Amino acid sequence: MTYRIVHKTTYKYKHPVAFGNHSVYLAPHSQGRQRCESYKLLVTPEPATRSERTDFYGNRVSFFTIQEPHEELAIEGHSVVTLDGEVSWPAQSMAWDEVARSLPLGLTSASLDAFQFVFESPRIKPKPEFAAYAAASFPSGRPLAEALLDLTARIHRDFEFDSKATNVRTPPEQVLRQRKGVCQDFAQLQIACLRSLGLPARYVSGYLRTTPPPGQPRLIGADASHAWLSVYCPEAGWLDVDPTNNLVPSQSHIILAWGRDYSDVSPVRGVILGGQDHKLEVAVDLEPRPVP
């Protein structure tokens, strides 16, 4: 499947902004079964300077500076992405506790890259309470891939999706207590559980294609930014799971970027001078196109 993606973010400020310096993670990944065919970033007002680089985790990030007064900022990421093939889930895998013990001893580039995702990050700190919640899914000797699916299903069952219960700064500890949140919260909670067991897990930012109810038209701009996670399995590489929907991401998930947690890959962030309060509007549209 090939998708045409438009991600539009609009800031409307209460007072004029004299200066703005921004970074944007809106260029989809090209790796494995996902290929970014094209990407274009449109910004209004026109930036005085702009640049692009690849960050430490291999994500493509754009920077721009606006030096003229403005009361509205519009950022549009236009891309075309192709997904080839089906996701294969390993029929067998190492025991999770064997993975946790052996990973620090690995000398391959893949294991060394994965090991950095065992440690705490700005928004996720391994703690005994996370390990205690995960323990029911991770008895000693259980295969990692099997335990991972079980924990994903439990989070989906035990936690309620509530867009008003949290915000972008809500810590996983609070989510664990209140049992409510959104996709970002559930992804970071599961990462906290896995890291608390000594397993490498990374945060994935992307898109999820939505399906309208039967008989209703597809609404332009109604698709969603989404978050899930990946866990490193020595025999199979990185395994993606989506605790919000209790599934293995496949043809409806588009990867934008990955990092230690949300703070590494926030789609749009910046520093402004002026503006005071602002109103934020975000619209995402994924238009599917069959592969020729």
Task: Give the chain's mean pLDDT.
Answer: 92
Q: What is the mean pLDDT of residues 167-183?
A: 96
Mean pLDDT score, 40-51: 97
**291 or 138, which is more confident?**
138
Q: Which of 90, 116, 83 is nearest to 237 (CA)?
A: 90
Q: What is the pTM of this model?
A: 0.93
Q: In what order do the strands lie in the sheet with 224-233?
A: 237-241, 224-233, 201-208, 253-259
Q: Residue 88: pLDDT band by 50, 70, 90 thresholds?
A: confident
- Summarize pLDDT for 139-154 with one digit per residue, the tens: 999 999 999 999 999 9
Q: What confidence score (pLDDT) does residue 252 get?
A: 86
Q: Range with the lowest mean pLDDT among 13-17, 145-149, 276-280?
A: 276-280
Band (221; pLDDT cuts 50, 70, 90)? very low
214 conformational bin, left if phi > 0, alpha if psi -120 to 50, beta if neither: beta
Domains of the chain: 2-84+266-289 (2.60.40.2250), 96-249 (3.10.620.30)
pLDDT at residue 290 tops 80: no
The confidence score (pLDDT) of residue 218 equals 57
The pLDDT, as a whole number, for residue 230 is 97
Looking at residue 271, its pLDDT comes to 94
Strands 34-44 and 160-161: unpaired
Q: What is the pLDDT of residues 197-215, one digit of tens each?
A: 999 999 999 998 877 777 7
